[in-house]
């Protein structure tokens, strides 16, 4: 879940807390997380559509905006996962959507695809 928060531009603020697993997040472009103290387990990407949909939107926009510049190999995988995400949305399966988003974000990181 932390990968999705970072993908949306959030970062951890160094601030002392009683529980070392709880972190304060700075996320000016994603208000549900901005200024909050939360552990990785409290991130709601797999339980709240208001959290996961900005990730879906950013991934979809990337695919549309870069359709001409993404390599054929990347384009096919993006299309497959975006289609699966959209199918998960149509079936109201937030866990499936979240897992597909995580896989696509991991793929972007591994292949160093720029936004």
Cβ–Cβ < 8 Å for 39, 25: no
Do 38 and 59 have their domain in common?
Answer: no
Do 73 and 98 have their domain in common?
Answer: yes
The string of pLDDT tens digits covering residues 59-110 is 988 877 777 777 777 888 888 999 999 999 999 999 999 999 999 999 888 8
The string of pLDDT tens digits covering residues 11-70 is 988 777 666 678 888 999 899 988 888 877 789 999 999 999 999 999 988 877 777 777
Residues 74, 75, 78, 84, CA torsion sign: negative
115 belongs to a structural domain? no
62 belongs to a structural domain? yes
Q: Can you give the pLDDT at residue 18?
A: 61
d(CA 28, CA 4): 15
Do 53 and 74 have their domain in common?
Answer: yes
Range of the domain at 79: 49-110
């Amino acid at each position: 879940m932390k990968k999705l928060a970072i993908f949306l531009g959030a970062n951890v603020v160094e601030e002392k807390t009683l529980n070392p697993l709880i972190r304060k997040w700075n996320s000016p472009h994603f208000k549900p997380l901005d200024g909050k103290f939360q552990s990785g387990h409290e991130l709601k990407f797999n339980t709240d559509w208001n959290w996961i949909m900005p990730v879906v939107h950013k991934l979809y926009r990337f695919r549309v905006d870069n359709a001409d510049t993404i390599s054929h190999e990347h384009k096919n995988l993006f299309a497959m996962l975006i289609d699966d995400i959209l199918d998960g949305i149509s079936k109201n399966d937030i866990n499936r959507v979240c897992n597909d988003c995580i896989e696509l974000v991991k793929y972007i990181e591994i292949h160093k695809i720029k936004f």
